[in-house]
Amino acid sequence: MKKPNTEDPMAEARKALTNMREAMAKMYDLDLSDESKTIEEAVEEQILSGEETTDGEKLSRFAEFLTDLAAKDAEEKLEALKGEGKNAPPEPESEPEPEQDSEPVQKQEQKQGMEIEGIDIKAAPPLLTKDALVLSLKIRTWGNWARVPESKIETDADKKRIKTRKKKLDCKEVAEIEAFVGGLRIWLYSRTVKGVLRPGLYLANRSQVVEINEWLKEQRDAFNTLVEKLIQSYEKRVEESKAALGSLFDESDYPSVEEVRSQYGIEWYWMDFSAMRPPESLLESAPEVYREEAEKAERRTTIVEKSVTKSLREDAAKVFRKLADALEPTTADGKKRRIHESTLNAVVEFMETFGPRNFGNDDQLAAVLGKASRLLNGVNIELVRKDDKLRSSLHEQFAEIAANVERLSIEATETMRAFAFDDV
């Protein structure tokens, strides 16, 4: 039974935040003694420190915690590579430029210039205990950052307060791998539900397993090809770093070619979500234990269902807000705003993949997606770019949709918080 709230709301919020920071510090071995430091900053600091990046397991764990940041940065990295005239890896979601003919490695659902057809949002929602599988994915990469020794830092400040890092290799091969990993996660996010279990686990619909599994095999091959490109040029890149880093170059930062190759890899396996329930054999041998574990499993299932709703609403809020902003006809300085097809495709893809992922049976979000689907039916990117009246109308309506989904997202967060503290 929930206890009456007798504390000041702000004090309760600060207490919850403190508890959360302490839990994250313990779980990820973070230094959060400085209250002004965000969790993301602490994780990044841990990843980029020379002490941690040699540990592939830990790096993968931290990288999972920062998946949102990796996904957000992936498109920028790819664009930077193209801007420098380098060979960028296949783009999973970024729209191809008109002069490009190459297909991305990832399956592109919405071809350039094609009209958007009606999307059925009303399909019966999947059942978590029947239709859900769990994907455990681990992506291993070599740590490309190292801490600069205090002896190399020239300053009159207290060196214990300064943490400076260096980039071991600054080359297109490493940048391509980083961008590829970001793109891989973006595609996977659109087919699964992330963040509802522990880091590295993704909730997927049983009906999508074959597609995802085959796609992962293709991505593993493409990833290994990029790694081999790095291996072939590794010794040359080390020499370049030796010249570029000067006195900061440390040969011990650069393992052998064989060791670098061994630190890269993509591995995964599938589990049945129903395995979270206690085995039926326990019902006879230890009925009391079975009942206790069944109650725990029931609560875990409810938490996951609510987490799915929260996660999907947050993702929907992002894609709809991005589309609404992109549809605004002009920028602040009066110039015509450019709208990328990838922005429109992201909304379409979310709507197309929502049904199989709707393990929380979110009727409210489904209703909003139904409205969005009707608005986009028969629309294509060229029509939006050329028809100012259509664009203005869509901007107004999708701004309203984005605001509604953002409200739903906040409600889901509050529901999760209330549920989590229900037994406190």
CB atoms within 10 A of CB 70: 20
Greater pLDDT, 417 or 249? 249
pLDDT digits (tens, 9 = 90+) for 234-289: 999 999 999 999 999 999 999 999 999 999 999 999 998 887 788 888 888 888 99
By the 8 A CB rule, do 384 and 390 touch? yes
Pairwise CA distance, residues 215 & 220, whole Å: 9
Least confident span in 7-11, 203-207, 229-233, 323-327: 7-11
Residue 326 has which token pair? Answer: 């992109």
pLDDT greater than 80 at residue 12: no
Q: What confidence score (pLDDT) does residue 328 get? A: 92
DSSP summary character for residue 336: B
Q: What mean pLDDT, rounded, does the chain reach?
A: 78
3-state secondary structure of 134: strand
Residue 120: pLDDT band by 50, 70, 90 thresholds? low
Pairwise CA distance, residues 236 & 225, whole Å: 18
pLDDT digits (tens, 9 = 90+) for 328-381: 988 878 888 888 999 999 999 999 999 999 999 999 999 999 999 999 999 989
By the 8 A CB rule, do 92 and 187 touch? yes
Q: What confidence score (pLDDT) does residue 155 get? A: 84
- CA distances to 113, 126, 197, 200, 399 from 135, in Å: 34, 17, 10, 8, 35
Q: Where are the beta strands (DSSP E) in 110-176?
A: 132-140, 145-147, 165-167
The whole model's pTM is what? 0.68
Q: What confidence score (pLDDT) does residue 32 get? A: 63
Q: What confidence score (pLDDT) does residue 129 get? A: 77
Residue 302: pLDDT band by 50, 70, 90 thresholds? confident
pLDDT digits (tens, 9 = 90+) for 67-104: 444 444 444 444 555 454 444 444 333 333 333 333 33
By the 8 A CB rule, do 158 and 141 touch? no
